[in-house]
Amino acid sequence: TNNGKTRYVRIDFLNSSEYNQILNSGIISFDGQCFHVHEYLAAPKVLFCSRCNIPGHTRKQCDFTFERCKRCDKNRKEGEHKECLINCHNCGGSHVSTDFRCSLVQGFREQLIQHLQQHPEYLPDNAQIFIPSHFRQYKQNFLSKNLQNDKYHDVKQYRMKNNNNINEWPLLPPAVHDTLSYSKYSKGYLDDTINLQVHLNRFEQECYEAKQNYDKKHNAIKTKINSCLNQIQSMMNCFSSTIQRQNEMMYVLKASLNECLDIIKISNQAICLMMTKSGDQQYTKMIEQLTTIPFDERQATINKIFSAYTPLIEDITTRIMDAAQHLIINND
């Protein structure tokens, strides 16, 4: 190629002897040019039933009632199925049921490769199977029965060394492993998927009910809080009005006391003047007592008391009004 990269070409041989000869030589001649030859390792294929399109069994072992279309999941003998709607009957995706994009096929393929990795003795002699990159373990690119020879070489030697002892118990034959029940796996995989979906739906329903219950309790608590805030606001308005009335009454009381003291002071002066003009000596002591009454000091004391009390009332009223306004803002 122009960029210098190698292009691989697949060639199939019908004659096995010719295939082995070319593979052993490692070179093939074509149009006067020699090309290097490597064995093509195909990926492990998945066995699908031709009746139900489910991997793991053949048509003879299938219990399905009709031949299912791999495109639309309907009876293939009824109607036209060349341009029918594509809908996977395994996972519901927009592909045929035998496509490797299907989650069921991917899971079955992974299980098959894992089973072959654990039991490579099931492979034919001198056979190699390519492993996809996302299923590889420890950079193992292919499966082969010959790879297990080195693994069990030490074990076989140990057994051969111990065969000379006649008193030793004979070794048990190797365990016979049944082949993987693919139909059982596929059915179990579908059941697990359905159970997972049921659990997810149940969990979603429980979350929805919990949210509804939370919203209901939240609204009830919010209603109670708003009701309490309204009651507190009404009480604070009443307190504010009462304090304002008390402040007004204190102002009227202060003015009334000052007027009464002024009237008493004038009356006292008039009485003392009349007693002095009469010239009677018996009023002298009474005049002295009346003139010694401290009207100015008492009036100053009253003004001082009311002057100190009025700012306190105004401060309390202002705080109550601010608190009521703050409750109105938070309530909104």
Q: For 175-229, write each residue's pLDDT tens digit.
A: 444 444 445 555 566 677 778 888 888 899 999 999 999 999 999 998 888 888 8
pTM of the complete model: 0.32
**pLDDT at residue number 264:** 85
* pLDDT tens sequence across 156-177: 444 444 444 445 555 555 544 4
Give dist(CA 102, CA 9) in Å, integer: 29
pLDDT of residue 160: 45
- Per-residue confidence (pLDDT) for residue 214, from 0 to 100: 93
Question: Which pLDDT value is given to residue 328?
Answer: 66
Model confidence pLDDT, tens digit, residues 223-249: 888 888 888 878 877 877 887 787 788
Residues of the chain where predicted confidence (pLDDT) is lower than 50? 1-2, 148-166, 175-182
Burial of 330: CB neighbours in 10 Å, binned 0-12, 13-18, 19+: exposed
Q: Which domains does the chain have, with CATH numbers?
A: 1-38 (no CATH), 224-331 (1.20.5)
Give the pLDDT score at 152. Answer: 43
Provide the pLDDT for residue 153.
43
The reported pLDDT for the residue numbered 216 is: 92
| Cα–Cα distance list, 105 to 52, 54, 74, 186 (Å) | 14, 8, 20, 9
CB distance 55 to 186 below 8 Å: yes
